[in-house]
Structure 1
Amino acid sequence: MNSLVLILISVVVFLIAYVTYGAWLAKQWGIDNSRKTPAHTKGDGVDYVPAKAPVLLGHHFASIAGAGPISGPIAAAIFGWLPVLLWIIVGSIFFGGVHDFGSLLASIRHDGKSIGEVIEINMGKRGKKLFASFAWLTLLLVVAAFTNIVANTFVSVPQAATASLLFIVLAIVFGFAVYRKGVSLGIGSVIGVILLFICIAIGNMFPLSLSFNTWVTFLLAYIFIASVTPVWILLQPRDYLNSYLLYAMIAGAVLGLFITRPAIQLEAVTGFNVNGQWLFPMLFVTVACGAISGFHSLVGSGTSSKQIDKESDAKLIGYGSMLIEGVLATVAIITAAYVSREKLGELLGAGGPVNVFSDGIGTFMTSFGIPFTVGKSFVALAVSAFALTSLDTATRLARFIFQEYFNEEGSQKSHPLANMYVATGITVVLGGLLAVTEYTKIWPIFGSANQLLSALALMTVAVWLKKSGKNYSMFIIPMVFMFAVTLFALGFLIKANLAVGNIILVVFPVLLFVLALVLAYQGYHIMTATEPKKTTKA
């Protein structure tokens, strides 16, 4: 099998899905540009800030992608490339895309509130408290997993570390220039992208080599600061510039694939049980963000819904971003599948899935004259930039959820734990403690929690749509499937960690399992008892 065929199939199918199924979803849910979005009705200059569609697409995609659609498919390659690719395509179109688009729209229609608050409105205060607990625990795993990934990337590719630090400074300057000094987005983008590639060049000349623990400490300090600053200072501008890194990386990968056309060496299917890992359910939680991710619902309802300019942008931001992520996940599985199993093992041992991906894309780029070292460090920078975006977005979202949990609406007195800095600090410290745990132990639990979160978000949006008299049928199969997959996966993980006496990694799955069962029961009860409205206006 030629790898070029795989990427072409992926891109064509996703384009068809966006034009047809995406448009059908928008029609079913009554997308209406005459409605003012929360960015306009609640604009505060900090979190509620209207953004142009390309800028918000860059922020949203960079936030949801992180290293997930790269690490997940490569880790799942133990089952062969075919089941991974099929799940990426089917999952992105009918599971992840529906989940992301629906979650974003639900938040927009609820004044930019988080999925937790949407649950409170549609399922009651108890449901919100349970979901908030579940989501916050999941976000701790996001912080831990992505801190681990970025720190390892900086250790294995120190050139990316230097470039990333310079990039943070560049993003702040870009934000001030565009949002406070009146520089046009077009001119700012041209200058910003040029300076971005200068940062990469400087990184290659002056690599910064520090220990893993030093990088973890730096990253925790960074995400604390980044998650409490106004979005226009760092979040929007850095994510927007990040999008150009992504587009350049994907373009370079696809062009390299067109020229080199490497043959796939990995078996199409290796087996249903591989080294004690069962294809069902572990494939579906390991691929994670490459097909569907509950974290996306937190991003969509936590930051993107507060910045969307008009409702019609929701299709591009919600559904479109998930399909682009599907393309990225397809490229990721190709980088694992075109090398021999022995070579794949060596690359994984030298730096994990990100090293596999960076090595593969760097190799493809040599076909059109990019030196391998430059190409590999560029890809590592792009991946670390996505992961950094996910890191501070996850911390900001955890802060929102933590504050919402302790702040009672209408209360004149704020709870001490609802303080912005206290909520952020608790999240960063606990996430940091988990971050020093071995990556391979964190990822399966993160994947399971993340996918279970997606099942809960699917259930929430389905309940809201039913109450609003809208078509919610497209949520039923994804919701039931994701509940089944993730509850089975958590059960396997609890058993495995008990066997080796890893109590910390037993407690997390048990808490998530119990919370999910309670929420699923409550959601089922409310959905079956709800009579849909006659009106078609949500």
Structure 2
Amino acid sequence: MVTFLVCFLLLLIGFFTYSKIVERVFCVDDRATPATVHPDGVDFVPMKTWRIFLVQLLNIAGLGPIYGALSGACWGPRVYLWIVFGTILGGGVHDFLSGMMSERHDGASISEIVGIYLGKIMAIVMRIFSVILLILVGTNFSLGPAALIGKLTPEALNTTFWLVVILLYYFVATFLPIDKIIGKIYPLFGGALIIMAVGIASVLLFSGSYVMPELTEFIGASAPAHPTGLPMWSMMFVTVACGAISGFHATQSPMMARCMTSEREGRTVFYGAMVTEGVIALIWAAAGVSFYNGVGPLSDAISSMGAGNVVYEISTTMMGPVGGVLAMLGVIACPITSGDTAFRSARLTIADWFKIDQSGWKNRLFLSVPVLLAGAVLTQWGDFNTLWRYFSWSNQTLAMMVLWAGAVYLHRNGFPPAACFIAALPATFMTAVSVTYFFQAPECLHLPTSVAYPVGLVAALLLLAIFVWREWIANQKKVLKKA
């Protein structure tokens, strides 16, 4: 319990301290925002801060901080450290920069921003990468909740039925103006999400029925390994996904950047939502390893029952029938409220790519239909675990790209080198994670760690060297131009 409480406090301290440093580095001001300059009633819609925060939270808090945290807990309380420091130093910085860079580029999609700062080739890569990732997210976040709702309803209303219902809802949410559905119902889903988090945490802390393992039990030569033998580096960092840092968030932040009425909302909306998601991930990681009384039984439960059934069993056992249903509503709302905005963001990314105006319904329909059809086809694959692994890796790789773009943005806009490394250091770390995973993961190259580890390290150091060299050259050109 001590480890859990310390990590929880660290997340809160991180928000009230480090987020202010990041905000000060970015130099927020009182300039006009895209929502106030050209509101279009569809995507550029001014909204209140609390509403934007809840929408952003529910956009980003999909299955990642729940399923990812449960899977990450199979490495024990060591995952708490990644959730805490990954959120504060990586995820919060990533989400803040992606949202604020979009706000200062007229609400542009993240692929367009990356293209501005990393070049035209990277713009093309990011456009393709983002659309594929977003469709994968929408697919993952329709299969999971459909199965969960199927468990709470009569047999006739099975997973297939709810999958169709969810996909139809996704189409409506993708097509209609953002304040018509998303801006209205997300606060209600937010209530369910809060009840879920508070309820599970309260039972863990105050019921006396569960013993949370301490970090000290998982340090040293005798520390339990992952039950299946998976190495912690870099598998754990990718498995947790959205619970610590997520490139998917960078595709969502521009939607809220188009709704802000002041730059000063950025720290609460972007960094604050990420810290809140980190808290959710921490709670579910603790719940998983405590409920099943160890990493081995937790891993066996996930393997035999599936993550959805594990969530259902934890919720109903810990909180009883009524509390369990409320908790499950939160779990169901999380992926649904990320899935709809994933497809919506895919539409906006394609629209920005090909400069297709979205104020008219015909253009929105022209893009919404093929995006949803692609997601519907993928749901028939039926292999959720494989889809999740591909999503997780592409997710962290996208985060790496966005952080590098953020580092270049800071330098190009006159910030001192020390400030640039607020983004460059987590970008280097995520480069090592993503490249190592690609070389070692079973669904990728599946090479031994003796190959994957050094390749990942060299790739990270190489990109850091390229960043320092390119920005030094750019700086010298500025000096010569002034001279």
Class of the TM-score when normalised by the shorter of the 2 chains: 0.7 to 0.9
Q: CA deviation at 1:497?
A: 6.2
Query: Aligned residue for 1:45?
Result: 41
Asked if the contact 2:315–2:328 (Cα under 8 Å) also holds between the matched residues in 1, the reply is no
Q: CA deviation at 1:426?
A: 2.2
Q: How does 1:397-408 map to 2 (within 5 A)?
A: 397-407=345-355
Query: Aligned residue for 1:441?
Result: 386
Separation (CA, whole Å) in 1 of partners of 2:370 and 2:445? 27
Q: Which amino acid aligns with 1:391?
A: G
Q: Which amino acid aligns with 1:257?
A: L
Asked if the contact 1:445–1:490 (Cα under 8 Å) also holds between the matched residues in 2, the reply is no
Does 2:109 match 1:109? no
Query: Aligned residue for 1:68?
Result: 64
Query: Aligned residue for 1:118?
Result: 113
Change (3 A) 1:361 1:215: closer
Q: CA deviation at 1:287?
A: 0.3
Query: Aligned residue for 2:337?
Result: 389
Query: Aligned residue for 1:58?
Result: 54
Query: Aligned residue for 1:531?
Result: 475
**Pairing partner for 2:11 from 14, 31, 41:** 14
Asked if the contact 2:127–2:349 (Cα under 8 Å) also holds between the matched residues in 1, the reply is yes
Does 2:433 match 1:481? no
CA deviation map 1:252-277 (0-9, x unaligned):
22332332142036974765565252
Query: Aligned residue for 2:168?
Result: 221
Does 2:236 match 1:286? no
Percent of counterpart pairs with the same letter? 30
Separation (CA, whole Å) in 2 of partners of 1:208 and 1:431? 25
CA deviation map 1:286-326 (0-9, x unaligned):
0000100001111102x110111211110011111111111
Separation (CA, whole Å) in 2 of partners of 1:133 and 1:482? 20
Query: Aligned residue for 1:456?
Result: 401
Does 2:139 match 1:139? no
Asked if the contact 1:10–1:327 (Cα under 8 Å) also holds between the matched residues in 2, the reply is no
Does 2:190 match 1:249? no
Q: Which amino acid aligns with 2:378?
A: L
Asked if the contact 1:89–1:291 (Cα under 8 Å) also holds between the matched residues in 2, the reply is yes
Asked if the contact 2:91–2:246 (Cα under 8 Å) also holds between the matched residues in 1, the reply is yes
Asked if the contact 1:260–1:364 (Cα under 8 Å) also holds between the matched residues in 2, the reply is no
Does 2:122 match 1:127? yes
CA deviation map 1:124-170 (0-9, x unaligned):
43332221011111112111211121122122233xxxxxxxxxxxx
Separation (CA, whole Å) in 2 of partners of 1:260 and 1:287? 27
Q: Which amino acid aligns with 1:360?
A: I
CA deviation map 1:374-406 (0-9, x unaligned):
222211111111111101100001111122223
Query: Aligned residue for 1:170?
Result: none
> Structure 1 unaligned runs (5+)?
159-206, 366-371, 500-515
Separation (CA, whole Å) in 2 of partners of 1:360 and 1:19? 32
CA RMSD of aligned residues (A): 2.9
Q: CA deviation at 1:208?
A: 7.1
Separation (CA, whole Å) in 2 of partners of 1:374 and 1:432? 32
**Pairing partner for 2:439 from 488, 491, 513:** 491
Q: Which amino acid aligns with 1:459?
A: W
Separation (CA, whole Å) in 2 of partners of 1:496 and 1:122? 31
Asked if the contact 2:403–2:427 (Cα under 8 Å) also holds between the matched residues in 1, the reply is yes
Q: How does 1:74-473 map to 2 (within 5 A)?
A: 74-79=70-75, 81-158=76-153, 209-261=156-208, 262-264=210-212, 268=218, 271=224, 274-301=227-254, 303-338=255-290, 339-340=292-293, 344=298, 347-348=301-302, 352-365=306-319, 372-407=320-355, 419-435=363-379, 436-470=381-415, 471-473=419-421
Separation (CA, whole Å) in 1 of partners of 2:156 and 2:218? 38
Q: CA deviation at 1:331?
A: 0.7
Change (3 A) 1:425 1:526: farther
> Structure 2 unaligned runs (5+)?
447-459
Moved more, 332-341 or 89-98: 332-341
Q: Which amino acid aligns with 1:438?
A: D
TM-score (norm 1): 0.77
Query: How many residue pairs were aligned?
Result: 449
Q: Which amino acid aligns with 1:82?
A: P
Q: CA deviation at 1:357?
A: 3.2
Separation (CA, whole Å) in 1 of partners of 2:236 and 2:196? 26
Q: CA deviation at 1:279?
A: 1.4
Asked if the contact 1:249–1:379 (Cα under 8 Å) also holds between the matched residues in 2, the reply is yes
Separation (CA, whole Å) in 1 of partners of 2:110 and 2:466? 16
CA deviation map 1:342-382 (0-9, x unaligned):
753575367532432343344343xxxxxx12222211111
